[in-house]
Amino acid sequence: MHIPDHMLQGAICPATAALALAGVGAALVAAARSHNKPGVGRFAAITALIFAAQMMNFPIAGGTSGHLLGAALATALLGTPFAVLAMTLVVAVQALVFGDGGLMVLGANILNMALIGVAAVALLQRLWNSEALRSSWRTGLAFGAAGWLSVLLAALAVSLQLALAGAVPFATVAGAMLRVHALIGLGEGLITAAALALLARPVQRDLSGFRQMARPFAAACGIGLLLSPLASSLPDGLERIAENLNFMPVEESGFWSPLTDYQLAAIGHEALATGLAGLCGVLLTFTLAWLVARPLQARLG
């Protein structure tokens, strides 16, 4: 779902950047004013976990892969404004450090994955009957379904942006994107439900700050270091459709990133290079999220 540089051209890039900046700014204000803030460590650990989970591409039909978007998981565990901030940090680290998603289209990627994805889940959450979600399996089912919908809406947003940029007609790309991402969304829903079953309990306020962050942080480190080398190397949904419809950009991004393609170039062993790069990404994302959340937490007074 990460749009690479040169896939979008023209006014759509600054337009989506402006929308993303406005949306993230509003999330910052809402997070600072919130009376139901996650702990700093909790926020940092969940953000790092979503970064690690997005490295785990899983195969679907047709020689294509998908990966977790994470909007539903972030919203369930952190609340809406902090979910937007977590997703924004993940997308920014991926683009600036790992070359995953272009710099010129960073606004579009934040808009699609951080803002539209989280907004879709938050709107559904407002419609749910809280009494109906008292059991953990119903909560997992509800957020799993919301995760599936968030993937489809993000795919639809990408299709519209591609059409507005003149890359491919909307009627052509939208159907293809929705078909592929409907399957990816099933994986999103299953992963979201399973993760909530493991991680929802530490939100309780009687648990210490360390216990709130320990489980997601340990999971993030384990996925980044040990499991990321096992991720599918097949093209993701957007890449496959771009290849099939001939709108994949041929020009490489001129922006240098230190860990391009999630690899430590100095390490000769591919699996080790990927694992160490994944661990570096987890630790960097955790640190940045901690630095973002700390002043927001202080606003509680």
Query: Over the stretch 158-215, which tens digit does the pLDDT of each residue have?
Result: 999 999 999 999 999 999 999 999 999 999 999 999 999 888 654 444 445 677 789 9
Residue 1 domain-assigned (yes or no) = no
Using DSSP bridges, classify how beta strands 58-60 and 64-66 pair: parallel, antiparallel or unpaired.
antiparallel
Residue 218 domain-assigned (yes or no) = yes
Task: State residue 299's pLDDT score.
Answer: 52
Residue 293 domain-assigned (yes or no) = yes
The CA-based angle 185-188-194, given to 5 degrees, is: 145
Distance in angstroms (rounded) separating the CA atoms of residues 290 and 123:
27
Has residue 287 got a pLDDT over 70?
yes
What whole-number percentage of the chain has pLDDT above 70? Answer: 91
Domain with residue 276: its CATH number is 1.10.1760.20
Which of residues 261 and 109 earns the better pLDDT score?
Answer: 109
Look up residue 283 and give its two tokens: 């630790």
What is the residue range of 267's domain?
12-32+39-298
List pLDDT tens digits, range 110-169: 999 999 999 999 988 888 755 555 556 678 888 999 999 999 999 999 999 999 999 999
Task: State residue 141's pLDDT score.
Answer: 86
Residue 5 domain-assigned (yes or no) = no
Has residue 82 got a pLDDT over 70?
yes
Has residue 281 got a pLDDT over 70?
yes
* CA 44 vs CA 24, 74, 186, 292: distances in Å: 17, 11, 27, 9
Residue 225 domain-assigned (yes or no) = yes
| Residue carrying the six token digits 């402006």 | 18
Three-state DSSP state, 124: helix
CA dihedral sign of residues 53, 55, 56, 57: positive
Provide mean pLDDT across the span 216-236.
96
- The answer to whether the beta carbons of residues 271 and 229 sit under 8 Å apart is yes
Task: State residue 209's pLDDT score.
Answer: 65
Q: 84-98, 130-144, 182-196, 222-236: which has the minimum mean pLDDT?
A: 130-144
Residue 281 domain-assigned (yes or no) = yes
* CA 57 vs CA 54, 66, 232: distances in Å: 7, 5, 5
Has residue 300 got a pLDDT over 70?
no
Listed in sequence order, the residues at least 6 apart from 94 whose beta carbon sits closer than 8 Å to its beta carbon are 2, 51, 54, 100, 101, 281
pLDDT band (50, 70, 90) for residue 22: very high
Number of structural domains, the chain? 1
Residue-level length of the chain:
301
Residue 2 domain-assigned (yes or no) = no
Residue 7 domain-assigned (yes or no) = no
